[in-house]
């Protein structure tokens, strides 16, 4: 599978452990060096800023998607290849996942988690078929995966739904995880409901 364009969900926090910002920068660098276009939330600070800055520094193509109210608050990154201004968060999420080969989730807060869970839901319903990779910096996603496992164990999700996501410890492993992800055909929606 040729990986040309990915969506990355991440945070804007400036107060989290610097290891999260470092992981974001390493991911941005990895994507750029492999000629993968990055689509992300368009912010300039926190993991968002580190992700975009590192990709730009390596000559990568970076597309930000920012709601109008965030643009008006001057939260947008000014150095991107392209900054798309949209009406609201719903439009932002739809546009970010359109025509991407995969979704990557770096650690983040409720916004990042909401985007991640929507992508998993869309995959379950056959609306998105690409790989979903969680970057487990400092063990961040261990509890999230345990929670998803609990949903499977309690029969809110099918055993086969476990294949919808993968977990990597290092940003440098993301592209291999995407390349090695099992196919997720549209027909898998047939077991979306138990």
- Over the stretch 119-140, which tens digit does the pLDDT of each residue have? 999 999 999 999 999 999 999 9
Task: For the chain, give every domain's residue range.
Answer: 5-184
Asked whether the whole model's pTM tops 0.85, one would answer: yes
When pLDDT is averaged across residues 60-85 and rounded to a whole number, the result is 95
What is the average pLDDT score of the chain? 96
CATH topology of domain 5-184: Rossmann fold (3.40.50)
When pLDDT is averaged across residues 35-61 and rounded to a whole number, the result is 98
What's the confidence (pLDDT) of residue 150? 98
What's the confidence (pLDDT) of residue 82? 97
Q: Following DSSP, what letter does each residue of 135-193 receive, concatenated?
A: E-GGGTTHHHHHHHHHHHHTTSS-GGGGGG-EEESSGGGHHHHHHTPPP--GGGGGGS-
What's the confidence (pLDDT) of residue 64? 98
Answer yes or no: is pLDDT of 169 > 90. yes
């Amino acid at each position: 599978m040729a990986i040309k364009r990915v969506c990355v969900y991440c945070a804007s926090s400036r107060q989290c452990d610097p290891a999260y910002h470092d992981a974001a920068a390493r991911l941005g660098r990895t994507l750029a060096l492999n000629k993968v276009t990055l689509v992300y939330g368009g912010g300039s600070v926190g993991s968002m800023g580190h992700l975009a800055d590192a990709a730009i520094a390596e000559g990568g193509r970076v597309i930000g998607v920012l709601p109008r109210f965030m643009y008006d608050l001057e939260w947008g990154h000014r150095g991107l290849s392209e900054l798309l201004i949209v009406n609201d968060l719903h439009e932002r999420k739809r546009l970010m996942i359109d025509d991407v080969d995969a979704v990557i989730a770096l650690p983040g807060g409720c916004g990042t988690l909401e985007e991640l869970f929507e992508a998993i839901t869309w995959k379950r319903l056959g609306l998105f078929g690409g790989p979903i990779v969680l970057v487990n910096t400092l063990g961040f996603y261990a509890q999230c995966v345990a929670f998803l496992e609990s949903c499977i164990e309690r029969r809110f999700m099918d055993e086969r739904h476990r294949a919808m996501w993968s977990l990597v410890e290092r940003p440098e492993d993301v592209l291999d995880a995407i390349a090695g992800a099992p196919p997720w055909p549209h027909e898998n929606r047939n077991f979306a409901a138990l």
